[in-house]
Chain A
C-alpha cells in the first residue's frame, strides 16, 4: 500500500473533513458532521407563545427538551414540500438544538483547503452565518454556521424588538 493511498484513506475516514448536506428549497447547505447528533423525522412540536414564527416549538428527544427552528422560515426560503422533511439535531456550543430542513441529502468529504471563502457581496445583508462555499459535483454548497444562523442572541434580539 502506498503512503499516498493511506493518507488519502485516512482523510476519507476522518470525520473532521465530513459534512452533512441538506436542502432548503432548491438551495444546498452543509454543516460539519461533527456537530450533528442525529437526524430524526418530524416530531410533535409544542409551540411556545411569543416566539418568532420560525421557531417551531419544543420537542421531546428521549426525555430532553430541545428547541427546533425552521431553517426555511429563518432564512426566508420557500419550502419545496413536506415529504422529506427532517430535523437535524445538533450540538452547538453546549446547546442542543434542532434544525428543520426540507431534506437531508448526503455526507461528503471535503478537505479543509478546498473550501472556498465566501464571496464579498455588494449588499448590506448580514451574511456572517456563511462560513464558506463548497464546490461538489458542479453544485455550490453553502457551508453554514448553524450556531450563528440559529443564534440565541438573535432570538433574544427579536424577542426584545417585538415587544
Chain B
C-alpha cells in the first residue's frame, strides 16, 4: 500500500480517536453507582468502535488496550461488578493515557507505548481473574463481589500512585526520544498536524444564511449602482461580488464531502480482515465521488465497517468451500454509493453463503430474543440480526465482535432517518441496502418558468424532457393534449392552466418544454414555458401553515435571494385545485 494512502488513513483515525475519546470521557464522568444501561452500552460501543478502527489502521497496541477495556466494560454492562469510584478513576485514567498516546502519534507516527502496563491496570481492577472463571462466578452473591473490590481498592491505591510516577518518567523519556526524532519526522509532523476542528452544523447553517443575506444586499447595491456613473466604485463592487461568490461556494462545499475516504477505510478494513481470516476477498467500490453531508458520512463510517467485516467473516466462505460450490475462488464484495430520488443509497453485496432464515430463527429462540412461537417471514428473520446481543456465530470472534455490530448499524442508520434492508439467498450472497434521505436537501433541479414565474422541478422526478415544437403534440377535443412517444400515448397538461397563472403574452413556442414524469404507474407530460437552468439547489421547508398545499413541497432560495417553490408534478396534477382550474379553462374554451 502506498505511503501517502496509509498516512491519510492514520490521519483520519487520529481525528476520529480524538472525538471518540472526548465522548468516552464525557460518558465516564457520568458514571455513578446506578449508571444506566444505556450509558454503559454507549461506553462499550465507543471502545468497540475505536478498537475496530485502530485495528484497521494497524495500531495493534491501541487495539489491544481497547480490547481489554471493552471486555471490562462488557462485564460492567452485564452487572458483574458494581461501579465504584475506583473503577471510574481507572476508566478515566485509561482514557487519559489513550489521549496521550494519540497526541504522541500525531507527532511521531512510530510512537510505541508501554501498553502492557495500561492493560495490567484494567485487569487489576477487573479482578485479574481470567474472564472464563469470572463468568463461572457470576451466580455469586453481589455482596461478595463488592468485598473483593474493596480489597483491591486498598492495595491499588499504593500501586496507583507509583503508576503515575512511572507514567511521568515514561513521559520524560518520551520527550527525549521525541527531540531526536523531531528532525526526521518534520515532514510527517506538518502533515499530521494539519489541524481539523469540528464545527457544529448549526454554525455553518447560520453562516450560509448570512451569505444569502449578503447576496441580497449586493443585488440592492447593484441596482443603486446603475443610477450613478462612478467607474472605480463599480470596479470595487465587482471585486466584492467575486469574493462573495467564492465564499458562498466554500460554505456550500463545507457541508458536502465525497464518500471516497470511507471507501479507502473500508478497503483497508477489508484487506486486514481477510488477511487475518485467510480468505481471499476482492472489494469493488462504485461511486466514490458520491457527495453527501459530512454529518451523514461520519455516522455511516462505523455501520459500513461493521457490515464489511461481517460480510468477510460470516458471509464469504473459505476458498475450498467456494471451489466446491462452483464459485470463484475469491469472494467478492461490492460497495456502491449513489443518489436516487433525493436519497443516498448504499448497497453492500457479497457473494458468500447468504443467510439462512431458519438458522437465524433458531438461534434467536435459543438466545431468548424471541419466544419461538412467532411465525416470521424470511425478511423478518433477517431483521432479527439487528436485535442487540444477537450474533449468529456461536463463539465471538476478533473480527465481528460480540454482536454489537449489527445493533450499532441499525441505530446509527435510524438516527439519520434512514432504512436498512437485507436481501439474502442461501449460497448466493447477502445484500444490505441502506437508504438515507439527503436531509440537508441539496439536489439537482430544473429552474423553470411558467408565465414569468419561476418554479423548481427536482431532476429526480423527471423521466425525460422534450421540446414542444419538436414533439408531435395533438389536441383531442374532450380528452387532453396527447403526445405519442415511442409508441406510448402520454397525456400532457399545461401547468400554467392548472396553476391558474396564465399570461396573455404567449411565450415563444420554441422555448416550451414538456417534462415527462412518472405518476402512480403512468406517465404524464407537464408543459412549461421554458427551462432557465439546471443547478444544485438547497431546499428549505415551508412553514407549517403551508403544509396543506398539494403539489408544493418546499422552496428554494436562489442565488439572488429569491424564493422559488418546488413542484411535485405528479401530486400537483392530481390535486383538486389543479383539476378544477383545468376544468374551468376547458369549459371556457368549449364555449
Contacts and interface: CB of A to CB of B under 8 A. Distances in A.
A47 B209 contact: no
A63 B543 contact: no
Interface string A33-47: 000000000001011
B445 to A, nearest CB: 15
Contacts of A152: 544-545
A60 B564 CA distance: 10
B582 to A, nearest CB: 13
Interface stretch (B230-238, B412-420, B546-554): B546-554
Nearest to B567: A49
Contact of A95 (B213, B216, B545, B557): B545
Interface residues of B, number: 34
A65 B558 CA distance: 12
B563 A162 contact: no
A103 interface: no
B548 A159 contact: yes
B542 A163 contact: no
Interface string B530-562: 000000000011111110111010010100011
A74 to B, nearest CB: 13
B101 interface: no
B546 A48 contact: yes
A60 B216 contact: yes
Given A46-B564, A49-B577, A51-B549, A58 B555 contact: yes
A150 B501 CA distance: 25
Contact of B555 (A46, A51, A96, A160): A46
A71 to B, nearest CB: 15
B411 interface: no
B36 interface: no
Interface of B is mostly: mixed
B580 A163 contact: yes
B209 A63 contact: yes
Contacts of A159: 548-549
B501 A65 contact: no
B563 A46 contact: yes
A150 B555 CA distance: 21
Contact of B562 (A46, A62, A162): A46
Interface string A55-96: 000111011111100000000000000000000000000111
B549 A50 contact: yes
Contacts of B369: none
A97 B580 contact: no
Interface in A114-158: 150, 152, 155-156
Given A60-B557, A162-B577, A163-B580, A65 B209 contact: no
Contacts, number: 88
A137 B501 CA distance: 47
A162 B580 CA distance: 10
B289 interface: no
B135 interface: no
Contact of B543 (A44, A50, A60, A66): A66
B564 A62 contact: no
Interface in B560-591: 561-565, 575-577, 580
Contacts of B205: 63
B114 to A, nearest CB: 52
B453 interface: yes
Given A58-B542, A65-B543, A162-B577, A48 B565 contact: yes
A50 B563 contact: no
Contacts of A97: 543, 545
B5 interface: no
Contacts of B216: 60
Contact of B577 (A50, A58, A95, A156): A50
Nearest to B543: A67
A152 B210 CA distance: 29
Given A50-B577, A162-B577, A163-B580, A65 B563 contact: yes
Contacts of B212: 60, 62-63
A150 B577 CA distance: 22
Nearest to B501: A49
Nearest to B577: A50
A64 B555 contact: no
A59 B557 CA distance: 9
Interface string B302-330: 00000000000000000000000000000
Given A46-B562, A60-B563, A62-B213, A67 B557 contact: no
B341 interface: no
A95 B543 contact: yes
A72 to B, nearest CB: 19
Contacts of A160: 548
B589 to A, nearest CB: 20
A155 B545 contact: yes
Given A60-B557, A60-B562, A62-B210, A49 B499 contact: yes
A65 B213 contact: no
A95 to B, nearest CB: 5
Contacts of A60: 212, 216, 557, 561-563
A155 B545 CA distance: 7
B499 A67 contact: no
Given A60-B216, A67-B543, A162-B577, A48 B208 contact: no
Given A62-B209, A63-B213, A65-B541, A49 B546 contact: no
Contact of A63 (B545, B557, B576): B557
A159 B548 CA distance: 8
A74 B564 CA distance: 24
Nearest to B572: A49
Contact of A46 (B213, B565, B575): B565
B500 interface: yes
B546 A67 contact: yes
Interface of B: 205, 208-210, 212-213, 216, 453-454, 499-501, 540-546, 548-550, 552, 555, 557, 561-565, 575-577, 580
20 contacts: A48-B546, A48-B549, A49-B500, A49-B565, A49-B577, A50-B549, A50-B550, A51-B549, A60-B557, A62-B209, A63-B205, A63-B209, A63-B213, A63-B540, A65-B563, A67-B542, A152-B544, A155-B548, A159-B548, A163-B576
Interface pairs A-B: 9 shortest CB-CB: A63-B209, A163-B576, A50-B577, A46-B563, A49-B499, A63-B212, A152-B545, A62-B213, A60-B563
Given A58-B543, A156-B548, A163-B577, 7 more contacts: A46-B454, A49-B552, A49-B565, A51-B549, A63-B208, A65-B557, A150-B545
